[in-house]
């Protein structure tokens, strides 16, 4: 696997691999202490967690996988890229690495995928932190359903696969402060999905906005299993893709969670407010249960 395009000053981590479903999944495993499992969304990969990992690895063991089809993981053209399949692979990763009593940090699609594990195995997850994501069916909300249906058209498919639409167009639009998506940082998201065949997982996620209702409904019906867990919710208030009204659902479902609002950040809060997130996560994880 050629990774010479990765700037090792930005991403100074050892690449590790685990085989799941006959394919190699890439992950980083940095530091020692209580494990933190990071779960990314689309069109992201473990690169997006680089600042948080650098800031937390002095006291914690930070594990950040690239979901199959993303980052430095294999990108088979015939894989199951449904959220349910990603959740199953994440569960296998936890088992293969022998992770016990760990914390979760997640966003976007990774939020539901990681919390699916926490719902199934609540005794193995200590604390949960997440930002700008959902865990309920979206097909009846026009905010998601209309663009999702368009993305399933021939034109949407062309833009996603041929022109890398989620990275070149959607990602810059999702930043509250677009200056923070520098050309060098943006390059690492572009080169992780360099060809139409390598963009199938990202395109599949666009379909899961409509087609994964059963998965989302199962998760949301059991969200009460997480209500007593210590929670820390960040939210980029300038997120045009996961609107702020979704935060109200989380406030009701997890009334004991602390909420930190970033007034000037968008969807990718970890790229825009890493220092504030590191400080808050250090304090959150340090408090004994």
Are residues 18 and 27 in contact, defined by beta-carbon separation less than 8 angstroms? yes
Tell me whether the omega of the peptide bond preceding residue 273 falls within 30 degrees of 0, making it cis. no
- Can 66 be counted among the known catalytic residues? no
- Can 78 be counted among the known catalytic residues? no
Q: Which of 74, 86, 108, 188 is catalytic?
A: 108
Length of the chain: 289
- Can 239 be counted among the known catalytic residues? yes
Cβ count within 10 A of residue 117: 23
Residues 6+ apart with CB under 8 A from 135: 111, 112, 115, 216, 219, 220, 223
Q: Which of 40, 103, 188, 267 is catalytic?
A: 267
DSSP assignment of 35-63 equals EEEEE--TT--GGGGHHHHHHHTTTSEEE
Catalytic positions, written as ranges = 108, 239, 267
């Amino acid at each position: 696997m050629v990774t010479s395009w990765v700037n090792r000053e930005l991403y100074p981590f050892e690449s590790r691999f685990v085989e799941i479903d006959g394919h190699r999944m890439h992950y980083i495993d940095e530091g020692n202490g209580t494990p933190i499992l990071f779960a990314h969304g689309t069109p992201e990969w473990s690169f997006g967690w680089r600042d948080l990992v650098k800031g937390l690895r002095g006291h914690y063991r930070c594990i950040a996988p690239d979901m199959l089809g993303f980052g430095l993981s294999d990108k088979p053209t015939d894989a199951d890229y449904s959220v349910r399949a990603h959740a199953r692979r994440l569960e296998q990763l936890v088992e293969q690495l022998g992770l016990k009593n760990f914390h979760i940090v997640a966003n976007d699609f990774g939020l539901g995928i990681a919390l699916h594990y926490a719902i199934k195995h609540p005794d193995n997850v200590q604390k949960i932190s997440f930002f700008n994501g959902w865990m309920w069916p979206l097909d009846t909300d026009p905010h998601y359903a209309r663009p999702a249906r368009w993305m399933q058209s021939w034109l949407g498919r062309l833009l996603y696969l041929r022109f890398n639409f989620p990275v070149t167009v959607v990602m810059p639009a999702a930043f509250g402060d677009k200056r923070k998506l520098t050309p060098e940082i943006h390059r690492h998201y572009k080169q992780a999905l360099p060809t139409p065949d390598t963009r199938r997982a990202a395109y599949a996620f666009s379909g899961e906005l409509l087609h994964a209702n059963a998965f989302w409904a199962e998760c949301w019906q059991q969200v009460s299993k997480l209500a007593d867990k210590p929670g820390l919710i960040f939210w980029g208030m300038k997120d045009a893709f996961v609107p702020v009204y979704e935060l109200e659902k989380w406030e009701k479902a997890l009334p004991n969670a602390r909420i930190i609002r970033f007034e000037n950040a968008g969807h990718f809060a970890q790229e825009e407010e890493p220092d504030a997130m590191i400080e808050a996560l250090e304090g959150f994880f340090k408090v004994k249960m």
